[in-house]
Structure 1
Amino acid sequence: MEYAIRRFRDEDAQALASIMGAAISYIGTHAYTQQQVDAWFARHHTPERYLERAAAGHVIFVATDPDDSPVAYTLLEADGHLDHLYCHPDHTRRGIAEKLLERSEQEARAIGCTRLYTEASDLARPAFERSGYTATHRREFEIAHGDHMVPIHNWAMEKQLA
């Protein structure tokens, strides 16, 4: 299947929220406990949040299938922070993440960023590494969920562009 990469459109907001939710709930269990996945999922974006992020100047690249339906995306902030990389479970392991990361890197260079940085899950870390990112350290933290705190981790990663 051929995938295209394009910029976010307002009508993509619901699909991106669904992609994020599906990725967390279905793929997340391959590396995290159900309790961790539930806490992570409870924090996922609403469609309105994507509209807010785009309006604030964050750049969202969307990978689409041949019908122009969103299947994956990245969200890049102006300082080089790659805040999101999510792929729908039906479209993983097809090189989409690397294509999105490449397009995000092109944009970061165009706006004058000298480095990209992110916080990658255990599941996303290999895609970032294949794209030239280096893990700087494991981040241990907690997410409030219900009446308790859930310990979880991810990886601080970066890629120098200069």
Structure 2
Amino acid sequence: MILRAYRPEDCAFMARLFYDTVHTINARDYTNEQLDAWATGDVDLNEWNHSLLENDTLIAEIDGKIVGFADMEQTGYLNRLYIHKEYQRKGIAAALVNELEQRAKVKGLFNFETDASITAKPFFEKQGYMVKTKQEVIRSGIILVNYKMTKFI
């Protein structure tokens, strides 16, 4: 596996990976209605590209195939972390998060935050994140539960 910087030509594939991951991996913790509200399949690629370029965004590749991605804002907020449905539990997510945290530490950041899904909460706890609060987020009129989580180094 290699980690590399995001390139704009990755965006459309990443949007598809996001949709597929949410609708398969997160299906054990959310209803179909919630999954459709979370990942509609209609990502604004220009908006995503702009956001991914502003953030520190990493791509994980295996044999030239994108198998995951993550991005962290300049504030230490971990915005997105998605791993291909066929590459779960292989250390990819941990590698992405660890690398983003290391890069942030070089910039003087030692506090990290994310909004973790029910599905991702155990992963983040293993990475040293602690639940700050349980949240109910409304998307397209549908309530989604997630957790505000923080990590202090």
Q: TM-score, normalised by structure 2?
A: 0.93
CA distance in 1, matches of 2:82, 2:145: 17
Structure 1 residue identity aligned to 2:113 = Y
Are the aligned partners of 2:78 and 2:112 in contact in 1 as well (CA < 8 Å)? yes
Q: 1:51: how far off?
A: 1.8
Per the alignment, in what secondary structure is the counterpart of residue 38 of structure 1?
helix
Q: 1:4: how far off?
A: 1.2
Deviation track 1:18-76 (CA, whole Å, cap 9, x = no partner) reads 11111111112111011111111127644323321134x21111111122x21111110
Structure 2 residue identity aligned to 1:97 = A
Q: 1:117: how far off?
A: 0.1
- The answer for the alignment partner of 2:102 in structure 1 is 106
Number of matched residues? 153
- The answer for the alignment partner of 1:156 in structure 2 is 148
Alignment of 1:8-157 (within 5 A): 8-42=6-40, 45-55=43-53, 57-67=54-64, 69-144=65-140, 149-157=141-149
Identity of aligned residues (%): 27
Are the aligned partners of 2:112 and 2:151 in contact in 1 as well (CA < 8 Å)? yes
RMSD between superposed Cα atoms in Å: 1.5
Please, which runs of 5 or more residues in structure 2 have no aligned partner? none
Q: 1:115: how far off?
A: 0.5
CA distance in 1, matches of 2:77, 2:48: 16
Deviation track 1:113-158 (CA, whole Å, cap 9, x = no partner) reads 12010000011112211111111111112212xxxx1111101101
4+ long deviations beyond 6 Å: none
Are the aligned partners of 1:20 and 1:44 in contact in 2 as well (CA < 8 Å)? no
Residues 1:50 and 1:104: Cα distance change in structure 2 (over 3 Å):
same
Residues 1:5 and 1:44: Cα distance change in structure 2 (over 3 Å):
farther
Please, which runs of 5 or more residues in structure 1 have no aligned partner? none
